[in-house]
A and B are shown apart, each in its own frame.
Chain A
Amino acid sequence: MSQSLALTVNGRAVTVAVDDPQMPLLYALRNEVGLTGPHYGCGLAQCGACTVHVDGAAVRSCVLPVAEAAGKRVVTLEGLGTPENPHKLQSAFIEEQAVQCGYCTNGMIMESAALLERNPRPSADQVKETLANNICRCGTHPRVVAAVLRAAQG
């Protein structure tokens, strides 16, 4: 019944045993791999809290079947950078204090990191358009935009 799937998570080869290959990747990451960067927000790919990178692209892990991530490179917020070796967005979010409750922060950083890979010098409007489908309820939006622009300049 249970099947094993091999994927690379944050540079590490990981095998997860799943009963249902249609289970979204999010649950494998949180409950099997033990990561807490990506969050469940809606399960509908509407809010962005669960965003991870799969082969370099920002995807909503709450709707991506885990089987579709098999053999691919998955990077989560934990793998993007560490306190010792932070991603420039993580440093910029601290410098701009661009977090309140922080539940959406994972999605803000992961979506923006993918943007900066495509477009290293985005305008403020491009940042806003990119994050138009990332929801924040605390109202950190201006600080998030400032942090992404700061990271792009740094």
Chain B
Amino acid sequence: MDRMTTDRRSLLKAGGALLVAFAAGGAPRGALAWAEKPVATDRVESFLALESDGRVTAYVGKVDLGTGIRTGFMQIVAEELDVPLGRIRVVEGDTALTPDQGATYGSLSIQNAGVQLRAAAATLRREVLRRAGERFGAEPASLRIEEGMVVAPGGRASLAELVRAGRVELAVDANAPIKAPEERRVVGRAAPRVDIPDKVFGRFEYVHDFKLPGMLHGRPVRPPAMGAVAEAVDEASIRHIPGVVRVVHQGAFVGVVAETEWSAIKAARELRVRWSDWSGLPDQSRLWEHVKATPVAQVQVTSERGDAPGAVRGAARQLSASYDFGINSHASMGPSCAVAEWKDGRLTTWSASQATHNLRKQLSMMLAEPVEKVRCIYMEGAGCYGRNGHEDAAADAALLAKAVGRPVRVQWMRHDEHGWDPKGPPHLVELRGGLDAQGNIVGWEAEAWIPKGAGGNVDLVAAELGGLPRENQIHPGNIIHNLAQPYGFPAVKTTCHRLDTTPFRPSWIRTPGRMQNTYASESFLDEMAAAAGKDPLELRLSLLPREETRAREVLERVGRIANWQTRPSPQNDRSGEVLRGRGVTFCKYELVRTYVAAVAEVEVNRNTGAIKVTRFLCSHDCGQIINPDGVRSQVEGNVIHTLSRTFKEEMTFDRKAVTSLDWASYQVITFPEIPEIVVDLVDRPTERPWGAGEPSAAVVPSAVGNAIFDATGVRMRSIPFTAAKFRAAAQGV
């Protein structure tokens, strides 16, 4: 990553102006950037700085979680300012330097932060052209920008020059004109990601690689039972390990600090702690009974039209089904990691937090320090796919660094990551539907049992264990969407029973709730289609409201590229041991944005239950595309990650703690299991850009479940779809 050091004096001198001098090179160091820099989200100078050497720095609150969004932001700035891509740098997620644009989640980086950045750049472009027009006595509209130079009939001037001519302080104008589609040269075309060369040569600086002078190494020592307290810590038990600096113990928070990483690892492993007894987790084999028995904090009706219960009750034919989705870990490749430094009474953390501005408030609360004394800086880690443990590692590091008075780096071990990252909570959906005598759907009812809460700050593990100040609320992500339906059912009612608690600290994992709700709904719609003897693709097309042309288009396109044969499911060739089938599914994300339709093709060994996805096809409309190859890679990633969750991932636990603590007990998809993936992108250059980081995950479980049904007549209603579950379900068919 291109790092820079802010020259504090020049920053201060420049004040709120856009023209800011930077000295290139060097790693970001805490002391430098306590300087004032505008960060308000309505100011151009918060987002953009023009450097005298022709470079442009973009400041964004959203961060690149390994998705390539950094390159997308650069394309947006390059386009609107006509500056070459190579002269643009991006500073992400630094509470002292970047605007607070919210957590990096929900497929909102381009849709929200990218559009804000584009408006800032377009506002700046208009101002620069206005100034050039004055200087050269020309109509601004007659001017153009080439490689960062405004070209007028009477001369040329660089963007920085034009800005330097007078202090620029601009409010972002959301309506500043952006480039018309036919004028675009950078946006809408595949741009190679700027981070990849450093990553393939081992030169990229991840947070895991970040070092400070005098830095020590810390490791948390977590309780063997999640609610246990450390009653006594035997420091003598690690006295033989060289370089141990400190054991920190507060309530259930225990950590060790050592001069070297290996000493810290050994100390954490060998420290003898007397833990209290605790076994408060539910019995995993009765998880869904536990979920149904959990007190309900709120009943949320997310859609209602007509008298759905009455319509279902009075229908000629009634169907009902229950769909469950087990508990997942984020299971990042790189365990959570952070470095913390206290200096002059101020705390700086470097972490891969997807929400540094929120983390700052959480650390301030936990440590009882004013928020102004905390700065959180983003550095890339391993892909997190939601709120994993990075924030928690930052809190661990902050506590340990405070105790020893030196910078401390904390990196979780694999068992810490699998055991203590917040979890994607259990998700249960029950559906009922009614068909009339002609096979038309007359009523649809869905009820979900899911934890209360939405997006927000997931409490820090260190604060929970140490009994330190925290919000003490649960935030599983925005998990209610896509239970309401895009289809024109005559009567529909969808209800979320928001549970007061859930067994593990919840958070969002890629496509939270929307994937589980889509899985249940699109599988049940397939059940209705089969019961009515209708082709599932045609049924969907017939149920979409007339105005949903974009929805119909992705469905029709995916049918075409999959060479879809119109017929009801299941297929009727049961001659071999291995049966083949195909399934279709659709999602309009949160019913307001990105459209996705998918077809999965599977082979099922009906004796062993072995299921192989042979091909996965996806048509995807996220409006305007910034970087087509970026979108394509996100769709591929969504499909593969969600196939992994659909077929393999399931966190296990006993009454005390998580038991799936490594890659053998928490299995994920492997190379031989990856199907051929066909991605079909619909680009709409005149529309607004929407997100692509999640929506195509939503369609994966239902596409493959519907394909398994098509092949075998067996309906899979419990994730993960294991061979054993297939065999059990097949017995009833």
Contact = CB atoms under 8 A, between A and B. Distances in A.
Contacts of A86: 200-201
Interface in B662-687: 662-664, 668-672, 674, 676-677
A31 B258 CA distance: 14
A61 interface: no
B654 interface: no
A123 B65 CA distance: 32
A137 B638 contact: no
B331 A137 contact: yes
Contact of A78 (B67, B193, B202, B383): B202
Given A42-B414, A97-B633, A102 B199 contact: yes
Contact of B639 (A102, A129, A139): A139
B27 interface: no
Given A101-B380, A103-B383, A47 B663 contact: yes
A133 B668 CA distance: 10
Contact of A100 (B203, B208, B411, B637): B637
Interface residues of A, number: 60
Interface in B616-655: 629, 633, 636-641, 644
Nearest to B204: A102
Interface string B537-549: 0000000000000
Given A40-B411, A42-B414, A99-B196, A78 B333 contact: no
Contacts of B209: 30, 36
B661 to A, nearest CB: 10
Contacts of B196: 93-94, 97, 99, 102
A117 to B, nearest CB: 18
Contact of B262 (A1, A23, A77, A143): A23
Nearest to A27: B262
A100 B717 CA distance: 32
Nearest to A23: B262
A46 B663 CA distance: 6
A35 B65 CA distance: 22
Interface in A76-127: 76-78, 81-83, 86, 90, 93-94, 97, 99-106, 109, 125, 127
Contact of A41 (B333, B383, B674): B333
A141 B671 contact: yes
Interface in B322-373: 331-335
B530 to A, nearest CB: 30
A70 interface: no
A56 interface: no
Contact of A105 (B199, B242, B260): B199
B243 A19 contact: yes
B202 A137 contact: no
A101 B671 contact: no
Given A36-B202, A42-B662, A101-B65, A141 B640 contact: yes
Contacts of B262: 19-20, 23-24, 27, 31
B255 interface: no
A102 B68 CA distance: 11
Contact of A109 (B200, B208, B382): B200
Contacts of B662: 42, 44, 46
A100 B263 contact: no
Nearest to B259: A19
A8 interface: no
A35 B382 contact: no
A131 interface: yes
B206 interface: yes
A93 B669 CA distance: 21
Given A43-B414, A44-B664, A137-B332, 5 more contacts: A27-B262, A40-B335, A99-B193, A101-B380, A102-B199
6 shortest interchain CB distances as A-B pairs: A101-B66, A37-B202, A139-B640, A102-B199, A139-B637, A101-B383
Interface of A: 1, 19-20, 23-24, 27, 30-31, 35-44, 46-47, 49, 76-78, 81-83, 86, 90, 93-94, 97, 99-106, 109, 125, 127-129, 131-145
Interface of B: 65-68, 192-193, 195-197, 199-206, 208-209, 242-243, 260-263, 266, 331-335, 380-383, 385, 411, 413-414, 629, 633, 636-641, 644, 662-664, 668-672, 674, 676-677
20 contacts: A19-B263, A27-B260, A27-B261, A35-B202, A39-B382, A47-B663, A49-B333, A78-B203, A83-B201, A86-B201, A97-B192, A99-B193, A102-B195, A103-B66, A125-B672, A132-B672, A136-B333, A139-B636, A139-B637, A142-B676
